[in-house]
Amino acid sequence: MSPIAYSALGHRAQPPTIARLMTLMLENPKLLSIAAGFTDTKTLPVSVVQAAVDTLARREGDPEYLQYGTNQGRPKLRALLADRLLALETPSDADAVRKNVFVTNGSQQALYLAMQVLCDPGDIVLVDRPSYFVYLEMLAGLGVQTRSLPVDAAGRIDGPALRTLLADMRKTGELSRLKAVYFVSYFSNPSARSLDETEKNAIASALTEAGAIVPVLEDAAYRELYYERPHPARSVLSLPSWSAFPRLYFSTLTKTFASGLKVGYGTSSDAGLLAKMLHVKGHHDFGTANYNQALLEEVITQGGLDAQLAVIRAAYLRKMHALHGALVEAGLASLGWTWTVPEGGLYLWLTAPASLDTGLDAAFCRACVDAGVLYVPGELCFGHDAPKNHIRLSFGVLGEADLAEAGRRFTGVAKRFA
């Protein structure tokens, strides 16, 4: 028993699952990890960063980039990011969307800021099913409850079932505690699915009918990580069905450029909501690392981000095929496992036969670790009613040969449990 009298937040804080997965890795050096969502190391843009560093160092005048910056983010970087976003979107409030671009220490920080200003313990957030497990763990840490957006057998948003859920929440009094709705809408972590406009519209119309005009958080972390063509759906920033809602849009340069720089960004349709988030950001760090932002400003201006995207889109397509192909060749599908071939992102989302428990403490997971392969149990990715038979595999960090080997090891274990 610790003598320290922790706060309620301190009491709720649990070691993140990712830490447990990393400990497993460190204890088993021969383990091939297709668990962590790390990005590809081989294609990290060393020479592009070098060029940006050189440009900054040669710049005349004070080295302001080594000084503190502004809380909301460097104006030029924000303008560049707004330009990129507004090339994809046509919001009716384009000026607000441009003005309200903010830069954070990864989009993870922005998600945390939003939750801190919107939710108290006991409040409820609607989340996609499955959803991003680090966000779900954050909500649990804040004492915030989740309800899943209902989906049909194909994983698509089920509008009628959402109406029923909201009506039930009204009856139980829970609807007044609903504070936000969150979804990962492009090449999602973990499912690799993208939401179509009809699905986003179905969520908006069910909430509108229920009178629940709560802030919507659209997490577009993987939007630009398509392999061959972008997903055509507009975001909540442009869809008329969402125009009455306060809208937050999140993205990041960690997946598209360099995760080590840890720069994320977003925008808000609502200046008041953004102002609250920035007040709290002031308490966190009063500004994202200015040097990293200055580097990215240079990189984008010099065309380095688009060049890097061209490299990694091709690399992730190859890597996806290395893992997917190994699973197919080793016979996983014939054991009753199913998955959809992704068109972007870093993940394969597998569904095992219903009776197989793939949880962290289950025999299957232990057998995989013994066989030298580590995955993320799908049960972590659900707000509630977590099915046990899903698995997220990441092809982000390992090379193609290791991915193929990991796929063979994984299927070898699946055969023993068939």
Phi-psi region of 265 (alpha: psi -120 to 50; beta: other; left: phi over 0): beta
Is residue 219 at the binding interface for ligand PLP, with CB under 6 A as the rule?
A: yes
State the nearest-atom distance from the C-beta of 102 to ligand PLP, in Å: 13
**How many CB atoms lie under 10 A from the CB of residue 30?**
6
Chain positions 274 to 313 lying near ligand PLP, rule: CB under 6 A, are none
Rounded CA separation 180/138 (Å): 14
Classify residue 279 as left (phi > 0), alpha (psi -120 to 50) or beta.
Answer: alpha
Residue pair 350/390 in contact (Cβ under 8 Å)? The answer is: yes
Based on the shown chain and the rule CB under 6 A, indicate whether residue 191 belongs to the binding site for ligand PLP.
Answer: no
**Per CB under 6 A, does 383 bind ligand PLP?**
no
Looking at the Cβ atoms of 91 and 106, the one nearer to ligand PLP is 106
To the nearest 10°, the Cα dihedral for 77, 78, 83, 88?
120
Contact between 231 and 344 under an 8 Å Cβ cutoff? The reply is yes
Please report how close the Cβ of residue 219 comes to ligand PLP at its closest, in angstroms: 5
List the one residue from 65, 102, 132, 226 that touches ligand PLP (CB under 6 A).
132
Binding mask 139-178 for ligand PLP (x = CB under 6 A): ----------------------------------------
Task: In angstroms, give the least distance from the CB of 121 to ligand PLP.
Answer: 23
Rounded to whole angstroms, the Cα distance separating 250 from 329 reads: 37
Interface stretch with ligand PLP, choices 14-22, 60-68, 102-110, 356-364 (CB under 6 A): 102-110
Q: Which residue from 264, 378, 396, 407 is in contact with ligand PLP, where contact means CB under 6 A? A: 264
Whether 143 and 179 have beta carbons less than 8 Å apart is answered as no
Stretch that binds ligand PLP, among 73-81, 106-114, 138-146, 160-168 (CB under 6 A): 106-114
Q: Which helix (H) or strand (E) holds 415?
A: helix 400-416
Residues that bind ligand PLP (CB under 6 A): 37, 106-108, 132, 184, 189, 219, 221, 252, 254, 259, 264
